[in-house]
């Protein structure tokens, strides 16, 4: 699919998307690919329609929030959003964006990351953080969790103790542990009312999945 075709998913800022998509890192990580950007944008736009905020800033932040990718198991993971924010500022500066808008995009990208633990101070930053985290939970989040575990060489679960009743949780070794160590915690940290409502539904879906998963094994 061409950048022109992909840009249509970012209406009404198709031209901005055409300018920015070539800068998006195309890697072999299917959990952080262009499909992820499209999903995050759809949710972000829905939240923006309900909550407000500048859609132009939000669109740029969505498109560039993963423009520097760092593997989940890298010691540099906590700096990934800072590196992406710096690169985004450079790209948008070259496109003639004003300083205030550069600051807005910079902060939204820096604050979106769970690993960075930066409190979002603007509405656009809160929306981007919510939209990105919504893609980490629910059925899509389940798929991404097991996909990423496979890429990292993890097992599905500990065959001897699937529910970690007699051991420490270890989501670097067992995909199922990641639900308890991180994914089940995400629904408590949403920043917008609409985001919280969406998160409650997706959280319930994950809980049901894990319950049925344990039943089947």
Q: What pLDDT, on a 0 to 100 scale, did the predictor assign at position 158?
A: 98
What does the pLDDT profile of the chain (217 residues) look like in tens digits? 577 788 999 999 999 999 999 988 656 788 789 999 999 999 999 999 999 999 999 999 999 999 887 766 666 667 889 999 999 999 999 999 999 999 999 999 999 988 888 899 999 999 999 999 999 999 999 999 999 999 999 999 999 999 999 999 999 999 999 999 999 999 999 999 999 999 999 999 999 999 999 999 9
pTM above 0.85, yes or no: yes
Q: What pLDDT, on a 0 to 100 scale, did the predictor assign at position 30?
A: 81
Architecture per CATH, domain 136-217, reads as Up-down Bundle (1.20)
Q: What pLDDT, on a 0 to 100 scale, did the predictor assign at position 49?
A: 97
Q: What is the DSSP code string of 16-69?
A: HHHHHGGGS---S-TTSSHHHHHHHHHHHHHHHHHH---HHHHHHHHHHTTSS-
What residues contact residue 61 under an 8 Å CB cut-off, 6+ apart?
88, 104, 105, 108, 109, 112, 124, 125, 128
Q: What pLDDT, on a 0 to 100 scale, did the predictor assign at position 69?
A: 79
């Amino acid at each position: 699919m061409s950048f022109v075709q992909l840009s249509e998913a970012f209406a009404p800022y198709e031209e901005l998307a055409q300018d920015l998509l070539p800068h998006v890192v195309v890697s072999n990580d299917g959990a952080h690919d262009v499909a992820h950007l499209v999903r995050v944008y759809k949710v972000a736009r829905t939240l923006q329609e309900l909550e407000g905020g500048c859609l132009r800033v939000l669109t740029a932040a969505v498109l560039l929030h993963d423009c520097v990718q760092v593997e989940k198991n890298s010691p540099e993971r906590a700096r990934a959003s800072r590196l992406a924010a710096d690169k985004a500022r450079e790209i948008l500066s070259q496109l003639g964006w004003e300083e205030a808008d550069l600051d807005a995009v910079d902060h939204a990208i820096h604050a979106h990351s769970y690993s960075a633990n930066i409190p979002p101070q603007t509405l656009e930053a809160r929306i981007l953080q919510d939209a990105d985290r919504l893609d980490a939970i629910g059925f899509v989040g389940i798929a991404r969790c097991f996909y990423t575990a496979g890429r990292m060489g993890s097992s599905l679960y500990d065959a001897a103790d699937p529910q970690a009743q007699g051991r420490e949780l270890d989501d670097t070794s067992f995909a199922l542990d990641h639900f308890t160590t991180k994914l089940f915690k995400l629904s408590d940290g949403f920043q917008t009312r609409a985001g919280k409502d969406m998160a409650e539904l997706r959280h319930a879906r994950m809980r049901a999945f894990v319950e049925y998963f344990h039943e089947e094994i």
